[in-house]
């Protein structure tokens, strides 16, 4: 069957296109939502500086859920035109303070495992979760 080879090739090409789409955040099959270790997230992270980064854009934390190692450095980049903060909701274990538009602030994640919800103190409807594990 001559068609078996072209079919296999087409699948490989499609998989490659999918990987490209993921790196540009177009998305492929799933929307890249909650999964902690998806290819989307690792590709996004490695394209920055190897550290862990949260971007604030359009009054949203991206990603809204981030898993890090204990004591990891987390850089928060504000890409909005208004000031934001990234502040732990309970216990105040981390707080960037005000991040001016276009600026970034790095904080240190808690040293113990757990889920740490955070918010923006200026815009309390902005929410995210930092998971330390
Ligand atoms: Cu804000």
Q: What is the pLDDT, as a whole number, of residue 51?
A: 56
Residues 1-48: pLDDT tens digits? 445 444 444 444 444 444 444 444 444 444 444 444 444 444 444 333
Task: Examine the pLDDT at 55 and tell me if it is beyond 80.
Answer: yes
Which sequence spans correspond to the domains of the chain? 49-132
Of the two residues 81 and 47, the one the predictor is more confident about is 81
Q: How far is the CA of 3 from the centre of ligand 1 (A)?
A: 56
pLDDT tens digit sequence for 88-129: 997 668 999 999 999 999 999 999 999 999 999 999 999 999
- Statement: residue 73 has pLDDT above 90: yes
Question: If you measure from the C-alpha of residue 115 to the centroid of ligand 1, how many angstroms do you get, rounded to a whole number?
Answer: 21
CB 95 within 8 A of CB 87: yes
CA 100 – ligand 1 centroid, Å:
10
Distance CA 83, CA 90 (A): 21
Determine the pLDDT at residue 90: 76
Our CA dihedral for 63, 103, 117, 128, rounded to 10 degrees, sits at -30
The Cβ-side half-sphere exposure at 124, using a 13 Å CA radius, reads 1
Distance between Cα 4 and ligand 1 center (Å)? 54
Please give the distance, rounded to the nearest whole angstrom, from the Cα atom of residue 83 to the centre of ligand 1: 6
Architecture of domain 49-132: Sandwich (2.60)
Dihedral (CA of 34, 36, 40, 43) sign: positive
Residue 84 DSSP class: B
Pairing state between β 73-78 and 52-57: parallel
Helix (H) or strand (E) holding 129: strand 127-132
pLDDT, position 20 = 44
Contact between residue 132 and residue 91 where contact means Cβ atoms under 8 Å apart: no
Q: How far is the CA of 114 from the centre of ligand 1 (A)?
A: 24
């Amino acid at each position: 069957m001559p068609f078996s080879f072209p079919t296999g090739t087409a699948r490989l090409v499609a998989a490659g296109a999918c990987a490209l789409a993921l790196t540009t955040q177009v998305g492929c099959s799933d929307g890249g939502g909650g999964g902690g270790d998806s290819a989307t997230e690792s590709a996004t992270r490695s394209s920055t500086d190897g550290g862990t980064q949260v971007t604030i854009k359009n009054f949203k934390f991206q990603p809204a859920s981030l898993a890090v190692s204990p004591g990891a450095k987390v850089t928060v980049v504000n890409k909005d035109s208004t000031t934001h903060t990234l502040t732990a909701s309970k216990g105040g274990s981390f707080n960037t303070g005000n991040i001016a538009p276009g600026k970034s602030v790095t904080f240190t994640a808690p040293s113990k495992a757990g889920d740490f919800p955070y918010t923006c103190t200026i815009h309390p409807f902005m929410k995210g979760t930092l998971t330390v594990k």
